[in-house]
């Protein structure tokens, strides 16, 4: 049973790991292969700061909220393990700032210590009159993706550096199931007008005195189009750009100035920070995550694709819940092919 | 008295901040800092510089609270300015955890730090051996940066600083009109204060930049304080010990205790061991005194004995000491005009 995962960002690698963990003992013939044209540190995931935080409004997408929770709980469970440092996983507290009172988010009871900001705390942020404080997690992909890659390699998963042009290409080589984690480029494999780029640009600086994340929100400009500061284990990420429909991966001088000026106004201490890098990337945005099975007829064969893409600006936040959902879909494929040696995995 | 000459003895956080307050309150004063040690070799340099007050048994609580509030307000403004990184001041959030519920659930400073609240059940799960905790956000003064920043501000006011060991305050009476004694542990010898005793602290300064939160055991013995470049792991409270030598057994013990609060510290690198003697006293001595010897008078202002709480109250006590210097100047001017009659 050959399973090909397309994509080696956080979604592809975690889906591969989850499937391997759940099924390698049930399906002795299971062979996993990862195909990608970009590997860490050149994936979209690598550009993300790595903060676990869903969007502030879930628009009724309860399934996604559940996947977010599953991811948080899974990561929290690993916090005290010896692997945490290698995974790039650590706790971090910080602020979400608003210009007017807002309803509490769907994730208020998922994170730790969620509360409203006190008047004295708001003095730190002129222009913002309302906000939240909570403790969440950071999962830095520049560590997490290599950690996932090592785990997968140890388990005998094979990696292929190539751009897959079609699902057919893999099926004709004898692949039985494709897990489509192609992120922004899923449209190249199968047109999906709902998948659009949410272009982001970030500035990485050295500012080790910043110990909190600060995310501002402006209901008029939309999510992540308002300054944010996210301290990592080595660099602090400054951002605040979300341009729907913009496919450019070139750094824009105008966006640089917007980010720099806004973040320094937000946190005057940043004025002395040294700029180390600039990066642009495309959030694979979709009205909802596409996580579903598709059976494709190829001649007299039924080929199975599990789609797992369209995670927008919350891929890291939701990845493990989605990986487990993808694994469940895989389990049902095995059931149908009567390949699993026991009645499906207990999840 | 046109330009009173003030000598400040001591160049730790107390000496430097007191000198700075004097220049602010009395711009006509000529201030000189004298110390046998300057940063990075002062007791202050060993401390993590966390604004979490120590409670002095014999100082009225309202006075301690006032000192802390002034200090917090002063540093809060710096942390939110472009000077923050140079001054080494930054906000940090975290937890104080207790193995058994403390009798005083609300410390006197709970309304001065930010966002003080009890920890939730979910948060306490991270600390299986602890049953109660408090979460809050406070400030940290990283040293050497903070001391170097104070020195820079002092130099800008024209304050001179000299490396000099003062063995007796009377050495200074011919060159200076007023002496300010911020000698910390040195006051034991310098002014013979037997109520002052060392509480030896050993700490580890490690590289663990993924640690963004502080964790402190309410017993005050085990703590993890993330600074700009290093995390301070502590510690010890060896009352009466004068030893400045690191102890290897203590190092392992501190490391183990901190790892049990924060397991990821197992991956910490570049461990540096430091020792400081907290200049401890039942109350902080912020007091005016006029020394007298053979008909000669020497006004002295004391500002020492801050023990484990130096950073937490430094600016408040510095302001109070500076006002006492102002009183000394008025007294000198009063007596000199009487002398003219």
Contacts A273 to B, Cβ<8 Å: 85
**B2 pLDDT tier (thresholds 50, 70, 90):** confident
- Closest listed residue to residue B114, CA positions, set A113, A292, A298, A221: A113
Give me the total of CB pairs closer than 8 Å, taking one residue from chain A and one from chain B: 97
Alpha-carbon span B11 to B168, nearest angstrom:
17
Q: What is the mean pLDDT of residues A222-251?
A: 96
Closest residue, chain B, to A235 (C-alpha): B209
Task: Select the residue of A82, A112, A207 nearest B266 (Cβ to Cβ).
Answer: A82
A208/B92 Cβ within 8 A:
no
Residue B341 has pLDDT above 50, yes or no: no
**A224 pLDDT tier (thresholds 50, 70, 90):** confident
B126/A79 Cβ within 8 A:
yes
Report percent pLDDT > 70 for chain A: 97
**pLDDT at position A179:** 98
Q: What is the mean pLDDT of residues B237-249?
A: 98
Mean pLDDT of chain A: 95
Q: What is the mean pLDDT of residues B99-112?
A: 94
Note whether B72 and B78 are within 8 A (CB).
no
Residue A347 has pLDDT above 90, yes or no: no
Closest residue, chain B, to A76 (C-alpha): B126
Residue B163 has pLDDT above 50, yes or no: yes
In this predicted model, what pLDDT tens digit does every residue of A245-296 receive, in sequence order?
999 999 999 999 999 999 999 999 999 999 999 999 999 999 999 999 999 9
**pLDDT at position A302:** 85
In this predicted model, what pLDDT tens digit does every residue of A173-207 receive, in sequence order?
999 999 999 999 999 999 999 999 999 999 999 99
A271 at the B interface (CB within 8 A)? Answer: yes
**pLDDT at position B28:** 92
Residue B14, φ and ψ in degrees, nearest 5: -75, -50
**A342 pLDDT tier (thresholds 50, 70, 90):** low
Range 89-118 of A in CB contact (< 8 A) with B: 90-93, 112-113, 115, 117-118
In this predicted model, what pLDDT tens digit does every residue of B169-200 receive, in sequence order?
999 999 999 999 999 999 999 999 999 999 99
Q: How far is A317 from chain B (nearest CA, A)?
A: 19
Note whether A145 and A13 are within 8 A (CB).
yes
**pLDDT at position B335:** 73
Element (H, E) at A203: strand A196-206
B331 at the A interface (CB within 8 A)? Answer: no
How many CA atoms lie within 13 Å of B279's alpha carbon, on the beta-carbon side?
A: 25
Mean pLDDT of chain B: 96
DSSP for B115-144, written as a single string: EEEEPPHHHHTT-TT--EEEEEEEEEE-TT
DSSP for B184-235, written as a single string: GGGHHHHS--TT-EEEEEEEEEEE-TT--SEEEETTSS-EEEE-SS-EEEE-
Which residue blocks in A84-228 are alpha helix, DSSP H? Answer: 84-87, 119-122, 141-154, 167-171, 186-189
- Closest listed residue to residue A321, CA positions, set A65, A22, A79: A65
Residue B333 has pLDDT above 90, yes or no: no
Q: How many residues make up chain A in this entry?
A: 347
B313 among the known binding-site residues? Answer: no
In this predicted model, what pLDDT tens digit does every residue of B22-66 receive, in sequence order?
999 999 999 999 999 999 999 999 999 999 999 999 999 999 999
Q: What is the mean pLDDT of residues B240-255?
A: 98
Report percent pLDDT > 90 for chain A: 92
Query: Who's near A256: CB < 8 A, 6+ residues apart?
Result: A201, A203, A278
Residue ranges and CATH numbers for the domains of chain A are 1-50+142-186+288-346 (3.40.50.720)
B122 at the A interface (CB within 8 A)? Answer: yes
Closest residue, chain A, to B118 (C-alpha): A113
Q: Cα–Cα distances in Å, from A13 out to A6, A83, B151?
A: 9, 17, 52
B120/A268 Cβ within 8 A:
no
Task: Select the residue of B86, B120, B212 nearest A112 (Cβ to Cβ).
Answer: B120
A231/B137 Cβ within 8 A:
no
In this predicted model, what pLDDT tens digit does every residue of B283-299 receive, in sequence order?
999 999 999 999 999 99
Q: How many residues make up chain B in this entry?
A: 341
DSSP for A222-266, written as a single string: -TTSS-EEEE-SS-EEEE---EET----SPPHHHHHHHHHHHHHH
Number of neighbouring beta carbons within 10 Å of residue B36: 16
A281-285, B102-106, B332-336, range with the lowest pLDDT? B332-336
**pLDDT at position A153:** 98
Contacts B137 to A, Cβ<8 Å: 93, 121, 133
B230 among the known binding-site residues? Answer: no
**pLDDT at position B252:** 98
Q: What angle do CA B94, A114, A118 make, to 5 degrees?
A: 80
Alpha-carbon span A50 to A66, nearest angstrom:
19
**pLDDT at position B123:** 97
Contacts B211 to A, Cβ<8 Å: 90
A269 at the B interface (CB within 8 A)? Answer: yes
> Which residue in A120, A143, A266, A269 has the most chain B C-beta atoms within 10 A of its own C-beta, making it the best mutation to test that interface?
A269
Number of neighbouring beta carbons within 10 Å of residue B37: 17
Hey, is B300 helix, strand or coil?
strand
B223 among the known binding-site residues? Answer: yes
Alpha-carbon span A269 to A280, nearest angstrom:
24
Range 71-90 of A in CB contact (< 8 A) with B: 79-82, 84-85, 88, 90
Helices (H) and strands (E) in chain B, counts: 9, 15
**B338 pLDDT tier (thresholds 50, 70, 90):** low
Contacts A93 to B, Cβ<8 Å: 93-94, 137, 212-213
B259 at the A interface (CB within 8 A)? Answer: no
Task: Select the residue of B85, B123, B266 nearest A209 (Cβ to Cβ).
Answer: B85
Locate the DSSP E strands across A268-324. 274-285, 290-298, 301-309
Q: How far is B333 from chain A (nearest CA, A)?
A: 43
Residue B87 has pLDDT above 80, yes or no: yes
Domain B5-339 has CATH 3.20.20.10: no
Determine the angle formed by the axes of helices A10-23 and A315-336, rounding to 10 degrees: 40
Residue B94 has pLDDT above 90, yes or no: yes
A231 at the B interface (CB within 8 A)? Answer: yes
Q: What is the mean pLDDT of residues B159-175?
A: 97
Task: Select the residue of B85, B93, B137 nearest A269 (Cβ to Cβ).
Answer: B85
């Amino acid at each position: 049973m050959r399973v090909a995962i397309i994509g080696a960002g956080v979604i592809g690698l975690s889906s591969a790991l989850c499937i391997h963990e759940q099924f390698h003992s049930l399906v002795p013939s299971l062979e996993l292969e990862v195909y990608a044209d970009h590997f860490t540190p050149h994936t979209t995931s690598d550009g993300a700061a790595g903060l676990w935080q869903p969007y502030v409004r879930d628009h009724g997408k309860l399934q996604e909220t559940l996947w977010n929770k599953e991811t948080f709980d899974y990561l929290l469970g690993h916090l005290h393990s010896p692997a945490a440092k290698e995974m790039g996983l650590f706790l971090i507290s910080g602020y979400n700032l608003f210009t007017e009172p807002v309803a509490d988010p769907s994730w208020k009871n998922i994170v730790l210590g969620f509360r409203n900001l006190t008047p004295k705390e708001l003095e730190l942020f002129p222009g913002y009159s309302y906000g939240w404080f909570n403790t969440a997690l950071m999962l830095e992909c520049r560590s997490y993706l290599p950690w996932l890659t090592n785990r997968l390699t140890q388990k005998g998963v094979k990696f292929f550096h190539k751009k897959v042009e079609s699902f057919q290409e893999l099926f004709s080589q004898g692949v039985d199931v494709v897990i489509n984690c192609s992120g922004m480029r899923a449209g190249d494999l199968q047109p999906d007008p709902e998948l659009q780029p949410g272009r982001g640009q970030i500035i990485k600086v050295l500012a080790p005195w910043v110990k909190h994340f600060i995310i501002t929100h402006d209901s008029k400009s939309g999510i992540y189009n308002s300054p944010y500061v996210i301290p990592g284990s080595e660099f602090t990420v400054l951002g605040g750009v979300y341009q729907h429909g913009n496919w450019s991966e070139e750094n824009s001088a105008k966006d640089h100035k917007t980010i720099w000026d806004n973040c320094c106004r937000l946190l005057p201490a940043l004025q002395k920070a040294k700029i180390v890098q600039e990066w642009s990337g495309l959030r694979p945005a979709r009205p909802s995550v596409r996580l579903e099975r598709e059976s494709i007829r190829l001649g007299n064969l039924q080929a199975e694709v599990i789609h797992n893409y369209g995670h927008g600006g919350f891929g890291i936040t939701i990845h493990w819940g989605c990986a487990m959902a993808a694994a469940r879909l895989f389990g049902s494929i095995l059931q149908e092919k009567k390949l699993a040696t026991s009645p499906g995995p207990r999840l | 008295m046109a330009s009173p000459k003030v000598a400040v003895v001591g160049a730790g956080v107390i000496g430097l901040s007191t000198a700075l307050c004097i220049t602010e309150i009395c711009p006509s004063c000529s201030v000189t800092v004298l110390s046998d040690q300057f940063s990075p070799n002062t007791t202050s340099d060993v401390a993590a510089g966390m604004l979490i007050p120590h409670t002095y048994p014999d100082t009225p609580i309202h006075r301690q609270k006032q000192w802390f509030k002034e200090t917090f307000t002063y540093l809060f403004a710096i942390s939110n300015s472009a000077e923050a990184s140079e001054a080494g001041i930054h906000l940090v959030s975290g937890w104080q955890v207790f193995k058994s519920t403390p009798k005083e659930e609300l410390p006197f400073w709970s309304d001065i730090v930010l966002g003080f609240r009890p920890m939730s059940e979910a948060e306490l799960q991270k600390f299986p051996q602890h049953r109660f905790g408090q979460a809050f956000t406070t400030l940290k003064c990283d040293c050497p940066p903070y001391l170097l920043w104070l020195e820079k501000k002092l130099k800008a006011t024209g304050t001179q600083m000299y490396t000099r060991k003062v063995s007796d305050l009377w050495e200074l009476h011919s060159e200076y009109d007023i002496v300010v004694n911020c000698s910390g542990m040195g006051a034991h010898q310098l002014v013979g204060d037997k109520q002052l005793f060392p509480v030896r602290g050993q700490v580890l300064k490690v590289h663990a930049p993924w640690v963004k939160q502080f964790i402190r055991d309410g017993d005050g013995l085990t703590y993890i304080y993330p600074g700009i470049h290093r995390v301070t792991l502590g510690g010890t409270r060896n009352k009466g010990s004068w030893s400045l030598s690191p102890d290897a057994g203590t190092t392992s013990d501190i490391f183990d205790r901190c790892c049990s609060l924060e397991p990821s510290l197992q991956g910490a690198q570049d461990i540096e061991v430091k020792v400081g003697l907290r200049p401890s006293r039942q109350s902080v001595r912020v007091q005016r005194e006029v020394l007298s010897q053979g008909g000669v008078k020497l006004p002295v202002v004391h500002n020492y004995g801050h023990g484990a709480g130096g950073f937490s109250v430094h600016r408040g006590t510095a302001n109070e000491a500076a006002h006492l210097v102002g009183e000394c100047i008025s007294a000198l001017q009063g007596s000199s005009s009487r002398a003219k009659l």
